[in-house]
Amino acid sequence: MLISLVMALQLAPANPSSITVRTATASQRVPLVAEAVGPMVRPQLLAPLLPVVVTPDAPGHYRVVVAGVAFGVEVGVASTTIAGLVQPLATAPIEREHQLLIPLQMVSEVFPAYVNNLQWDPTVRQLVIFTRVAAVKRQPRLVVVDAGHGGPDNGMTGPLGAPISLYEKDVALSVAKKLGVQLRSRGLRVLYTRTTDTLIALSDRGRIANQAGGDLFISVHVNAASMDWKDPAAGRGFETYFLAEAKTEDARRVEAMENQSVRFETDAKVSKDDALSYILSDMKQNEHLRESSELAELVQKHLATMHPGPNRGVKQAGFRVLVTAFMPAVLVEIGFGTNASEAAYLNDPGHQVAIASAIGDAAAEYLKRYERRVGGGVGRDER
């Protein structure tokens, strides 16, 4: 045994030009790219024997899905994120001719540590697949639930013309928690951006979702009427937004209202309006906008079956909380806290459960539709 190991080590080249991917019945050679920092691999070339899909999430950010397990990487950063866990890499991923290259160590050490039925044989530089890893059972999809505002940021208060009985931050948190329960009852995983009365920076909320590998992002808010309306106290209804440049004056009003939370972030650097416009115009090319619009339509459809207020429709605006969430993402205004009857409705725990159930139904329906489109794939991580 010792002699054969020594011979194998002697035969293995010091600077190999390729590695092998092998199953019980087939094998393939995968070329390596020689870089000053060490050998690198183009992950797509590990397929078809090893199912690999590489998807850009944002400039310099990629999601590498190996047999249903998602690895988040960033060009120039020597680590990868798997289900919220950070795993160091020997060297940082790089880009060459718009193609992602990952260090060989990610293939030889990290993939086998997280993907079932994989083993690296260093003596012959071979990645061995013991069974059909394509059959590895995926985790349930992850929905990130964001309760708007929090801490010193009360959000809106209401109703108009009466003592304050509703604080947006409290209703949003209560509904968000109930939404999490509803989503889990539908077989989905849930991550909250906050579970207590604390302030989370708007830009950090999307980043939390990205780092956890979220499939959907749902931000819960309570609306407020404009004082410029003829009868502000009469404003009622529900509406759902996705990220795009606001097209109406009312959408711009709600955008400005919700984005005011940034003033409570003592360390925040408030970008100029033109910077946000640049981000939005760039993201219009992102496939998540179309998917976010579809999710918003489903939220409105399901809320319309139980909400006493009027359906105000799907709208678009430049909410900062959605800018950093690189996945289908929506912001739901569940009602007007400035309206006395709607404020009482939103404060009622039973009605909060009903709202959460409707949004949960919308998220589950969206994910089922997506699953059918991709033929039962593993969701966002495989796009």
Q: What is the pLDDT of residues 182-226, one digit of tens each?
A: 999 999 999 999 999 999 998 889 888 887 888 999 999 999 999
Both tokens of 222, joined, read: 């309570």
Q: Are strands 52-58 and 38-41 parallel, antiparallel or unpaired?
A: unpaired
Query: Range with the lowest mean pLDDT among 52-61, 136-145, 150-159, 339-348?
Result: 136-145
Both tokens of 203, joined, read: 């830009």
Distance CA 316, CA 293 (A): 9
Dihedral sign of CA atoms 317, 320, 324, 325 in order? negative
Query: Range with the lowest mean pLDDT among 73-87, 137-151, 271-285?
Result: 271-285
- β-bridge partners, 204: none
Both tokens of 320, joined, read: 């900062």
Using omega within 30 degrees of 0 as the cis cutoff, is the peptide bond preceding 159 cis? yes
Dihedral sign of CA atoms 137, 289, 256, 168 in order? negative
pLDDT for position 114: 87
* Residue position matching structure tokens 């209401």: 158
Coil, strand, or helix at residue 370? helix
Nearest CA among 164, 216, 156, 210 for reference residue 186: 216
* Residue position matching structure tokens 């002697």: 10
If one compares 171 and 133, the residue with the highest pLDDT of the two is 171
Residue 74: pLDDT above 50?
A: yes
Residue 280: pLDDT above 50?
A: no
Dihedral sign of CA atoms 173, 179, 185, 186 in order? negative
pLDDT for position 259: 75
* Residue position matching structure tokens 């808010």: 221
Distance CA 303, CA 48 (A): 43
Residue 154: pLDDT above 70?
A: yes
Q: Which residues of 244-275 are buried (b: 16+ CB within 10 A; e: fewer)?
A: bbbeeeebebbbebbbebbebbeeeeeeeeee
Distance CA 131, CA 181 (A): 36
pLDDT band at 248 (very low <50, low <70, confident <90, very high): confident
**pLDDT above 90 as % of the chain:** 59
Distance CA 149, CA 198 (A): 8
Q: Quick one: which H or E segment has residue 346?
A: helix 340-347
Residue 267: pLDDT above 60?
A: no
Q: Tell me 326's DSSP state.
A: -
pLDDT band at 380 (very low <50, low <70, confident <90, very high): very low
What DSSP string runs through 69-115?
EEEEEETT-SEEEETTEEEE-SS--EEETTEEEEEHHIIIIIHHHHS
- β-bridge partners, 200: none
Burial of 230 (0-12, 13-18, 19+ CB in 10 A): exposed
pLDDT for position 263: 66
If one compares 256 and 50, the residue with the highest pLDDT of the two is 50
Distance CA 261, CA 257 (A): 8
State which of 196-200, 310-314, 322-326 shows the largest mean pLDDT: 310-314
Which backbone phi and psi does 157 adopt, to 5 degrees?
-130, 155
Both tokens of 53, joined, read: 């899909």
If one compares 132 and 219, the residue with the highest pLDDT of the two is 219
Cα 69 off chain centre by: 15
pLDDT for position 286: 56
Distance CA 105, CA 95 (A): 17
pLDDT band at 290 (very low <50, low <70, confident <90, very high): confident
Residue 52: pLDDT above 50?
A: yes
Whole-number average pLDDT of the chain: 85
Q: For the chain, how are helix, strand and coil distributed in percent, rounded to 5?
A: 40, 25, 35
Nearest CA among 36, 371, 347 for reference residue 222: 347
- The end-to-end CA distance of the chain, in Å, is 44
Nearest CA among 80, 71, 33 for reference residue 50: 71
Both tokens of 30, joined, read: 């995968």
